[in-house]
Structure 1
Amino acid sequence: MDANWDDLRLFLAVAREQSLSGAGKTLRLDPATLGRRMQRLETALQTTLFAKSPQGYALTDAGQSLLARAETAERAMRNAVADLPASTDVLSGQIRIGAPDGCANYLLPQVCAAICDQHPELDVQIVALPRVFNLSRREADMAIAVSAPTAGRLVVQKITDYQLHLAAAEGYLGSNPPIQQLQDLRGHRVVGYIPDMIFDRELDYLSDLGITRVPLASNSVSVQINWIRQGGGVGIVHDFSVPAMPGVRRILTDEISLTRAFYLIRHADDRRNLRLSLFAKALTAGLRAEVARLEALA
């Protein structure tokens, strides 16, 4: 399994500081969280990257090899940002993005606002719908999806992976039987999608867990999250949404952990559209950074 840029960015800080505390100060992350992310990276790569001791984190041979790759990726990211034009009049006019409502509610607002700060003449419209967008009908200039389409005249770019876990409100957990393993969910009210309205197989989280009854169901991620926030039950949530849910915490994180991805989809005819290409570059970079930031706070 390959490391993504979010993993490499954190790895670079630990490798350079040779300690979790030093890297945590640089990244403004809790050292314990950073330690878990490094352990997850080592597990994903099936190799030991650091020789850990009271004196700090020293790179192993495998770690040194990954460091070279990570620094190459870092230079590529910097070059990509440097290639963006500095003038504020390059990105202007209206751009419409279609996206599933989890991304549209918890990621796109702040990412697009930051882009508009740099390009005041730009107007961005976010269309949040729980379905696949039809770019051939020009429903949007570009769309974000949770799976890569295989048909149509489309250009597809993977943006980033993201994580999902079970979560529940502290109040719900305190007033119901403890949840210590997956089997314990049988005695709890589950929040999730309406089964026959799941528009993408990647969103069918609960069936993968063997859960067939969903007492509180909606086709909207926002509705599901509000149910969970208000103590309605237990459900799968995006890690990047957890910081926006005070009083909600993830559970069974060692037993249940899901990874999905976001893809940017554009019509093939727009490949040579400089304005849309510049926006797409800024959008993908912003989404990667924001997912990494919010997941680190989860």
Structure 2
Amino acid sequence: MMGNWDDLRLFLAVAREQSLSGAGKLLRLDPATLGRRMARLEKTMQAVLFVKSPSGYALTEAGVQLLSRAEAAEQAMRQATADVVVPSDQLAGQIRIGAPDGCANYLLPQVCARLVADNPGLDIQIVALPRVFNLSRREADMAIGVSAPTAGRLVVQKIADYQLHLAAADSYLAARPAIRTVADLQGHRLVGYIPDMIFDRELDYLAELGMTRVPLASNSVSVQVNMIRQGGGVGIVHDFSLPATPGVTRILTGDVHLSRAFYLIRHEDDRRNLRLSRFAEALAQGVRAEVAKLEAIA
């Protein structure tokens, strides 16, 4: 006996997260409740599915076998709804997007607000994390990345290029020695990423400038921007963030100009999912247009 789909959905989360707490966060379920559901599933299956220890939940041989069958059932469920068309050709249902927090803070809110306004039956969840998303573990339906992954069963689509420059608060610039050349930066505080928490080499901006000491650092782009806005120092900012940060000015634009790209990343199994494909195209168009609009007024 394989159990019902809801039990299998919970089982997949626990198997992928290898813990009740991690799965509970994804499912928004209390770990104790989730533990009872897994115990009930083991009773139904008449098999021990997990080896429980302080370090987490590891699959037994029976659990590994069920995982394979549950993943096949999951894909069948996703495919069964792939070609369902919502009346009026609108998008509906829940879609979760993983994104780096710069994109999640300065682009996705307005893009997703417009998509939901145009599709009242659509629910969008934005998960902003300063790391790479694991689509194989179904942490999100799709993700936006700053580099194109080369491993895994993934479909990758370039969305748009975006530009970055050095910037500082007007108040900081007024109170400190003038910055006319890159060499002048040696006398100024830098704001940037925590070096050992840079999750993608494309984000190692300051290394390109030969700068290693970062007095004010964060793994979050939005925190860095706020440090700069508060007069903390000089840092690399996305041009598309500047319209939302009045009082911050780009500097050395002729000497320091970085270009990066956003990529939309999906699991290969979702290639034939009509609903997700339509949403992905609308999302990509929206992000592309928003980058162009904000950079034009930066």
TM-score when scaled to structure 2? 0.71
Structure 2 SS opposite 1:163: strand
Q: Which amino acid aligns with 1:211?
A: M
The yes-or-no answer on 1:263 pairing with 2:263 is yes
Structure 2 SS opposite 1:213: coil
Cα RMSD between the aligned structures? 1.2
Q: Distance in 2 between matches of 1:258 and 1:291?
A: 15
* Structure 1, unpaired ranges of 5+: 1-84
Identity of aligned residues (%): 77
The answer to whether the 8 A contact 1:189-1:215 is kept is: yes
- Runs (4+) of structure 1 exceeding 4 A deviation are 85-89
Per the alignment, residue 245 of structure 2 pairs with 245
Deviation at 1:89, TM superposition (A): 5.5
Per the alignment, residue 274 of structure 1 pairs with 274
Structure 1 SS opposite 2:256: coil
Per the alignment, residue 61 of structure 2 pairs with none
Per the alignment, residue 92 of structure 2 pairs with 92
The answer to whether the 8 A contact 2:86-2:92 is kept is: no
Write the mapping of 1:38-187 to structure 2, written as runs, cut at 5 A.
88=88, 90-187=90-187
Q: Which amino acid aligns with 1:254?
A: G
Deviation at 1:217, TM superposition (A): 0.4
Per the alignment, residue 215 of structure 2 pairs with 215
Residues 121/130 of structure 1: CA separation in 2 closer, same or farther (3 Å cut):
same
Per the alignment, residue 231 of structure 2 pairs with 231
Q: Distance in 2 between matches of 1:232 and 1:174?
A: 13
Per the alignment, residue 203 of structure 1 pairs with 203
Q: Deviations over 1:129-183 (max 9, x none)?
A: 0000000000000000000000000000000000000000000000000000000
Residues 216/135 of structure 1: CA separation in 2 closer, same or farther (3 Å cut):
same
Q: Which amino acid aligns with 2:240?
A: F
Deviation at 1:90, TM superposition (A): 3.4
Structure 2 SS opposite 1:96: strand
Q: Distance in 2 between matches of 1:95 and 1:109?
A: 14
Q: Distance in 2 between matches of 1:214 and 1:86?
A: 51
The answer to whether the 8 A contact 2:163-2:260 is kept is: yes
Q: Which has the larger radius of gyration?
A: 2
Q: Deviations over 1:18-50 (max 9, x none)?
A: xxxxxxxxxxxxxxxxxxxxxxxxxxxxxxxxx
Per the alignment, residue 45 of structure 2 pairs with none
Paired positions, count: 214
* Structure 2, unpaired ranges of 5+: 1-84
Q: Deviations over 1:181-234 (max 9, x none)?
A: 000000000000000000000000000000010000000001100000010000
Write the mapping of 1:21-40 to structure 2, written as runs, cut at 5 A.
none
Residues 228/90 of structure 1: CA separation in 2 closer, same or farther (3 Å cut):
same
Q: Distance in 2 between matches of 1:232 and 1:284?
A: 34
